Structure 1
Amino acid sequence: MQRQPSPGPGSSSKNKVWDKLKSDSRAKGSPLYSELSAIRLERSWKKLEGLQRNAKIGIPEIARQYELAKIEWSLHDIFVIATPSSLNRAVFPSDEVKRKHAVVIESLRRLAGPPEEDVADWFTVEARLLYAKLLFSIGDSEEFMLVLKCLNLEEEHRAEAEWPIHARRLHAECMAMSAWSCVQRTLTLLENAAQQRNSQEVLDALQKAISTSLLYLEDLECSFGGGAAPGSKLITIGAAVSDWLEEILCTAPLLYLALGLTDVAVQTFRKIMEASPSRFSAGLRLRAAGQLSLTLLRAFPQSYTEDATELHTSCDIGLDWMSQADARRQECRREELVRAVCIAEQLVREGAVESRFPKDKAGHDIWYGSQASAVYDVAVLALANRDQIELASLLEHSLRYAFDDEHMWIQFGLSLMCCGRFEHAQVVLRQCLAQHAHSKEAALLVCKLCTVHIPNAAEAVRYASALVAKHPKMAAGHLALGLAFVLQSRQISTDEARQQAINKSLESLHTAQELDSGNPVITLYLSLQLANQRRIADSMEVLLELLQKDPTHMLALWLAILLQTSLKNYTDAETLCSRALYEYPHDEQFLLLRVKIDADARGPAAALVTAKSYISEQQLHRLPLEAQSRLWLFLAELFLQNEQGKDAGECLEKVGDTTTAEYLYLRGRVKLLEKRFKDAGALLEAVLAQDPQHVPSMLALVYIYMHSGNLDMAEHYTSQALAVEPCNHFAWARRGAVLQRKLNHEHTAECFINAIHLESTQPAMPFNDIPIIF
């Protein structure tokens, strides 16, 4: 017959019993007591044999604790079998194991006494908690719940002073078991979600288990964290936090998420994070911070893009983050996410082993593999595209502990590139290559920096050549080398060297396409380089393959339009441009192309009409300032072509940046239209001082020197223009005009023939306007 608990668990008689429960101060201050406590918490049972003689004499309370420790040691096999993961599969000790420990089990039942009797001391409390843990471990859930209910260890007793640490630990484990039992009984393998959400019993049990476990960790730090009595031994972290406590603290929030209770899960993560900082809670707080970050990322994606609340964070992610980390007071999820990531990173640093010269290499590898790498990966997810400067600062800290980690170096380099700190990124990625010479990712990123962001053809060729030498079957390496040679061909001024660079670029791009024929980037730049060689038919054939696979590819559409204009197929170019504007209605490049097609096909007057229909002042104000300036400059160019100098000047007044080469050049063109040659020449010389390869300024100066009769200087500037752009038909025509004035008829005819030939394949805008992006 089932035993009934004594009436009224909250009765006055029960409270009086609890009021008398105090741990013995003589025992607690004893070095032997502290050593016995450490052995029990560590579960290093072999050490008990050395204490046997001392425990039998001296303080009686220690002898009784020793007796409980021996019983717990004897039942260790049962407790090892009854782990959270095994009980989740209903794995309990066999009957043979129970028979083997029958004597010990009976002894513990005797020490615990009937559950309905009042407890007289802490020894009885510990004995009953240990007995309850045993009952749960052998599958007797009903008797387990009865013992716990009769003990009545509820809220009013959690604040009791001087709980023995063993009682706290056993209480926390029993509450975790109780919650686990409640979850299994009520949720039945996570079925019937509607019932689960309404199961207050489950929620209460989990919350009690979490609170009790955190209180135990707090008491544990008070008892052992700052040292112990003379002669005592400090306990280890892993043993003190048992499987049951770790499981309930780590799993409970995930159960809430599985039930759809995201807010409750977030609150639980916060509660664990806000536990008293100690070496015993650090690992759990770290996991909670990481899981909270992922939960916020997945459950509240829209809240991170809110503009209502400005994110105020400091790049110095130090201990200040810990003192400001009350997540309940955050104004938005976005800020809470960043703080959770930074708290996790701070906890990682507290337990870190610096890796550049590690004294404990094995310890560092275990720590980094199990904790740090996951935290920094979550940081990248949380902060990427939101606060790149903060991310870069955080990843810079990580290198103290991940100095040999290629992945972390690359993440750091990428974050710097996203911030626009290209020089710093280059230094970081070069260091990564110095440590990991075969790193494909780092080599590719360095090539990209040298080709796109910090143009240096020689460095780009050097790094790309090394990459291809180490990985000859890597298509991306040959692409990087081909683009490096493209950049080199644009920076070389001699015809022979330029042609060599062009041939090498085509060779590398062809090789890349053979290795990866479906790569759209390779196809695009192979087509572009063929177009630059005025091999229009070959370029179009290659490009059509890309457009058939991806008809909306922006750069491919751009190149296709230019190819059609080079063939003077203006109707097809207009059709393609209209399609591009449908796909990308706010892209100013396609707006410019559409107007430029009209200028080439029908003249500048018709182009101005088209510009007014496509580009209204209201539309202009919606664009970024840089795009607005570019459009005003373009309109000024159209007015100048139509010899409307006043209108061109008004457009230039609306340009934001008045120091650019293009702005100064157009101001010089206005002066030329006004016949103010001296002022125009000064402006054009200023352009060349800023950009020595600005061909339009060179050709404008040719006109000025021809007007003044200085044919030698005019010829000089035509030579410079052709050295930069050998396919510029305007430069060949001006050179022919200069040589004609100098009566050099033989070379004059050659120049005009070249001009006519190149003009027949001249696109509406230069092919090189298409940026290198890979």
Structure 2
Amino acid sequence: MANRTRTNTTKVEALIESCRSEGKWQRVIELTDELKSGSPHNECLANFLVGEARLESYLEEHAVAAESNFGRAKNGLAEARRYLNLALGESGQKAGIALDAYLLLAKLCYACGEYEQSLENFIKAELNTLAEKELTLRSLKILAESYAIKGLCLEQQAYKPTSKFKKAEKDTEMICCFERASDLGLLYLQEYDIVSGSNSSSNNSTAGSLLNVGVQQSLSSFAISSTIPSSSVTLEVSRRMGAILETALQRAPIVLIKAGKLQAAVERYRIMLNAIETRATQSLRLTLARQLAEVLLRGVSGTIYAPPFTTKSGGSTLRGGGATKRLWKPRKYAARQQFTPRNQQEEVILLLLIAEALAVRDTVLSQSPEFKQARQHAMGNVTAVYDLLTLATIRWGLVQLLNESFEKALKFSFGEQHVWRQYGLSLMAAEKHAHALRVLQESIKLTPGDPLPCLLASRLCYESLETVKQGLDYAQQALKREVKGLRPSRSQLFVGIGHQQLAIQATLKSDRDSYNKLALESLERAVQHDGNDHLAEYYLSLQYALLNQLGEALSHIRFALALRMEHAPCLHLFALLLTASRRPREALGVVEDALHEFPDNLQLLHVKAHLQLNLEDAETALSTVQHMLAVWREVYEAQLAGEEEKHSDTKSGIHLIHSSQMSDKDSISRVEQALSEAASSLSSFTQRPGPRRPWMLQIEIWLLLADVYMRIDQPNEALNCIHEATQIYPLSHQIMFMRGQVHVYLEQWLDAKQCFLNAVAANPNHTEALRALGETHLILGEPRLAEKMLKDAAKLDPNCPKIWFSLGQVMETLGDYNSSADCFATSLQLEPSCPVLPFTTIPLVFE
């Protein structure tokens, strides 16, 4: 058919050719009768056209290559087969339609499940030897489908080569067929868009300008659809491409991956994505972009990654080809200043952002029931893209980019719990805790039977927002949601953690005892529900330690370590329990062994330094703290170097003041005085960029270093360390307390008293500052004030022997010898079981 020149075509033949290109098969059959009546020499051509029309009409109505349809296809296509067989032979050769007839017969055999016969027809058509030349639209589609069908037949072929060389030869031929099919298929769709654009435009524009307009329209249509797309347009686009071509376009890179040619598969994806977009390939482009991103994330490491377009590939460009133009290659985008990814990270992010734009464009805002299926399909595409984007951005620390994408997603994600939950998790990763809690509250509403969002909200309240009662409410809500008690262990654990934290914060003994009892009951139930949960055993051990039941605590921490030996918080607690059992050297050995597994763990290094101080080894402690500073720089400095300020959830100094402790006027006046004392420091203070936690860790390290310097009688070095900490956050109560300790060392009692007053004003629950203030009042001859401060400290931490000893000294000064003796006895009773650091210094852990 393609061999006949246009000069010899009649008006009817031209009309038939137009109808074939547009897929109007019923009209083709009607015109065939007219063609036969015009000239008896056209009978062979008419047989071919009728066979083609009947074949294509049938395949448009029925699924291609579905096994259940093979029997029906043989019956339904018998007439088409007869007509196409009539178009073969010498008459077909003379009419120039034998090649097309063989190709269509191969397609017919494939639809009937006759794969071997289909391959035989391709051999008769000499498909592998065809030379590239200009083709009509219909011929382009026939040829593209032929290569696709040949590849599919080779894939489905029952015959398996016995030799590995023959298998490799077959695989190579199959891959070549799919690659040619994808190239010709894309070229056909591009040509069809040009032709249809020329027919619909009022002026005679060039093909290049039409392509440019198409590109602009494609880019400008990234807005969200307000309604469902027109079904007629969707059906027309789907019919124009056809199931066979769509399958070939998707299979081309997949067969390369199966053959172990990963880099070739990546290049194939890139070639297809770089082809100029058409109306029919818009949804396919989304699939290809997502698949390539997934391949790059899962299968390509940085060592074997090659940037795009480093190897030459055939194909013409928007600016037209030259002498090297390939006729059967799709046109590609080749504009000036085109962005080309330089590494794997850039390419993956670019692909996912393109996929996001395409997926968002197809979303349906209408909530009408009639659009439910389309809405679900569009949300499935969007969700798949966002899941991959989450994996990529979290891996490379691009949390802000992920947040922006989820913010846009909320516009069309009404009632979509998965998007809301992912958005909440991304905000938690970005340390936007208050915002994350509000998002998780919405997720809780959307999934009334799922305890997970409640547990996430509870963790957020415990760990970051310091709203323990609210976190406990969420944990109890999660416990109620557990279906038939299938897995209540973790919910029960969170309830126990909440009660434990409330007991630590409680100032009244009755409240503390009540919360401790509830915490112990909840944690024991959590262990009963899941005996293999190391976290439940860990928190139960911690609860016994807080209750000063060291035997039970040691027993449970050993259970926890048996369940998970390499768990840093368990090792941390075990070391403190050993110090409480008067075994400091054994505890130091545990910490040093743990640091072999976790060399960057600042909490363990902190314990190690205190143990060395406890063992009168200040010089070694000094080197340990200096090592802590080096570790901090290695872990956090690069992370914070170029980060902009983002403190939406960062607590200011005033937020550290507990409202329950600041109700009286005297406390308020003390706060004002403390803030005025820090005003001089604030004049040169600038908020540090990045998350708050790393800077707070550095403050702790500087203050520990100051403590060590005082132990080795270097107060000036200690003051320098305090100055470094002040540059980070001058309103820290810990800095005020440590400055007071330096004044105590220098016997500057009035200055020390003022520093301790500032520390207590900033944080009334800081027991060390209360004790130091009481001791200072005693030295200054103010025993009644000393008694008040020390009793307040004893209420907050009744297990501290130093507080009871100091209170005994005060009562002795006041002449109350019975009370003094009781205090000294309590101190002696508590001192053997006092750890080197309070158990409450261990941070909360949820993993």
User: When the two structures are superposed, what TM-score results if normalisation uses the length of structure 2?
Assistant: 0.75
Mapped partners of 2:467, 2:772: distance in 1? 29
- Which amino acid in structure 2 is aligned with residue 457 of structure 1? V
Q: Deviations over 1:740-767 (max 9, x none)?
A: 3222333322222222222221101110
Superposition pairs for residues 329-728 of structure 1, below 5 Å?
329-354=340-365, 360-369=371-380, 371-386=381-396, 387-471=398-482, 473=485, 474-600=488-614, 602-603=615-616, 606-612=617-623, 615=626, 619=630, 622=634, 624=636, 626=694, 629-641=699-711, 643-653=713-723, 655=725, 657=728, 659=730, 660-728=732-800
Tell me the residue number matched to 1:312.
none
Mapped partners of 1:229, 1:68: distance in 2? 30
Matched, 1:760 2:741: no
Of 813, 819, 844, the residue aligned with 1:747 is: 819
- The answer as to whether partners of 1:218 and 1:276 remain within 8 angstroms in 2 is yes
Q: Structure 1 69/711 Cα, relative in aligned 2: closer, same or farther at 3 Å?
A: farther
Matched, 1:215 2:187: yes
Mapped partners of 1:304, 1:708: distance in 2? 73
Tell me the residue number matched to 1:248.
248
Q: Deviations over 1:464-487 (max 9, x none)?
A: 112212327211111111111122
Task: Report the more deviating stretch, 489-498 or 528-537.
Answer: 489-498
Matched, 1:109 2:90: no
- The answer as to whether partners of 2:801 and 2:827 remain within 8 angstroms in 1 is yes
Matched, 1:37 2:14: no
Matched, 1:729 2:729: no
Mapped partners of 2:508, 2:56: distance in 1? 88
Matched, 1:299 2:299: yes
Mapped partners of 1:658, 1:366: distance in 2? 51
Tell me the residue number matched to 1:144.
121
- The answer as to whether partners of 1:636 and 1:647 remain within 8 angstroms in 2 is yes
Q: Structure 1 385/92 Cα, relative in aligned 2: closer, same or farther at 3 Å?
A: closer
Mapped partners of 1:226, 1:403: distance in 2? 41
Q: Structure 1 150/759 Cα, relative in aligned 2: closer, same or farther at 3 Å?
A: closer
Q: Structure 1 305/277 Cα, relative in aligned 2: closer, same or farther at 3 Å?
A: closer
- The answer as to whether partners of 2:171 and 2:259 remain within 8 angstroms in 1 is no
Task: Report the more deviating stretch, 527-536 or 132-141.
Answer: 132-141
Question: What secondary structure, in the 3-state scheme, does the structure 2 residue paired with 1:679 have?
Answer: helix
Post-superposition offset of 1:84: 5.3
- Which amino acid in structure 1 is aligned with residue 503 of structure 2? S
Question: What secondary structure, in the 3-state scheme, does the structure 1 residue paired with 2:346 have?
Answer: helix
Q: Structure 1 356/564 Cα, relative in aligned 2: closer, same or farther at 3 Å?
A: farther
Mapped partners of 1:181, 1:428: distance in 2? 51
Tell me the residue number matched to 2:227.
none
Residues matched between the structures, number:
718
- The answer as to whether partners of 1:115 and 1:151 remain within 8 angstroms in 2 is no
Mapped partners of 2:8, 2:699: distance in 1? 80
- Structure 2 spans left out of the alignment, 5+ residues: 203-231, 307-332, 638-693
Task: Report the more deviating stretch, 482-491 or 511-520.
Answer: 482-491
Percent of counterpart pairs with the same letter? 21
Mapped partners of 2:131, 2:627: distance in 1? 73
Post-superposition offset of 1:518: 0.8
- Which amino acid in structure 2 is aligned with residue 525 of structure 1? Y
Mapped partners of 1:303, 1:716: distance in 2? 67
- The answer as to whether partners of 1:115 and 1:150 remain within 8 angstroms in 2 is no
- Which amino acid in structure 2 is aligned with residue 385 of structure 1? R
Task: Report the more deviating stretch, 148-157 or 566-575.
Answer: 148-157
User: When the two structures are superposed, what TM-score results if normalisation uses the length of structure 1?
Assistant: 0.81
Matched, 1:206 2:173: no
Q: Deviations over 1:453-502 (max 9, x none)?
A: 11101211111112212327211111111111122222322221122112
Matched, 1:134 2:108: yes
- The answer as to whether partners of 1:34 and 1:229 remain within 8 angstroms in 2 is no
Tell me the residue number matched to 1:155.
132
Question: What secondary structure, in the 3-state scheme, does the structure 1 residue paired with 2:275 have?
Answer: coil
- Which amino acid in structure 1 is aligned with residue 707 of structure 2? E
Q: Structure 1 73/753 Cα, relative in aligned 2: closer, same or farther at 3 Å?
A: farther
Post-superposition offset of 1:184: 6.4
Post-superposition offset of 1:713: 2.7
Mapped partners of 1:669, 1:22: distance in 2? 107
Q: Structure 1 102/630 Cα, relative in aligned 2: closer, same or farther at 3 Å?
A: closer
Mapped partners of 2:263, 2:304: distance in 1? 17
- Which amino acid in structure 1 is aligned with residue 719 of structure 2? G
Tell me the residue number matched to 2:288.
288
Mapped partners of 2:32, 2:792: distance in 1? 99
Mapped partners of 2:763, 2:627: distance in 1? 31
Mapped partners of 2:365, 2:771: distance in 1? 61
Post-superposition offset of 1:294: 1.4
Q: Structure 1 354/118 Cα, relative in aligned 2: closer, same or farther at 3 Å?
A: farther
Task: Report the more deviating stretch, 183-192 or 390-399.
Answer: 183-192
Post-superposition offset of 1:698: 1.8
- Structure 1 spans left out of the alignment, 5+ residues: 1-13, 41-47, 307-321
Q: Deviations over 1:431-474 (max 9, x none)?
A: 01122222211111001101111110121111111221232721
Post-superposition offset of 1:525: 0.7
Mapped partners of 1:223, 1:288: distance in 2? 25
Q: Cα RMSD between the aligned structures? A: 4.2
Post-superposition offset of 1:522: 0.7
Mapped partners of 2:165, 2:295: distance in 1? 20
- Which amino acid in structure 2 is aligned with residue 566 of structure 1? A
Post-superposition offset of 1:360: 0.9
Q: Deviations over 1:313-359 (max 9, x none)?
A: xxxxxxxxx99999992100111111111222222112112376676
Q: Structure 1 277/617 Cα, relative in aligned 2: closer, same or farther at 3 Å?
A: closer
- Which amino acid in structure 2 is aligned with residue 178 of structure 1? K
- The answer as to whether partners of 1:355 and 1:401 remain within 8 angstroms in 2 is no
- Which amino acid in structure 1 is aligned with residue 133 of structure 2? E
Q: Structure 1 113/275 Cα, relative in aligned 2: closer, same or farther at 3 Å?
A: farther
Matched, 1:73 2:54: yes
- The answer as to whether partners of 2:356 and 2:386 remain within 8 angstroms in 1 is yes
Of 134, 138, 141, the residue aligned with 1:169 is: 141
Q: Structure 1 72/722 Cα, relative in aligned 2: closer, same or farther at 3 Å?
A: farther
- The answer as to whether partners of 2:786 and 2:810 remain within 8 angstroms in 1 is yes
Q: Structure 1 411/171 Cα, relative in aligned 2: closer, same or farther at 3 Å?
A: same
- The answer as to whether partners of 2:58 and 2:76 remain within 8 angstroms in 1 is no
- The answer as to whether partners of 1:458 and 1:488 remain within 8 angstroms in 2 is yes
Q: Structure 1 201/572 Cα, relative in aligned 2: closer, same or farther at 3 Å?
A: same
- Which amino acid in structure 1 is aligned with residue 778 of structure 2? M
Q: Structure 1 740/150 Cα, relative in aligned 2: closer, same or farther at 3 Å?
A: closer
Q: Deviations over 1:24-45 (max 9, x none)?
A: 8999899x967993555xxxxx
Mapped partners of 2:407, 2:818: distance in 1? 65
Question: What secondary structure, in the 3-state scheme, does the structure 2 residue paired with 1:109 have?
Answer: helix
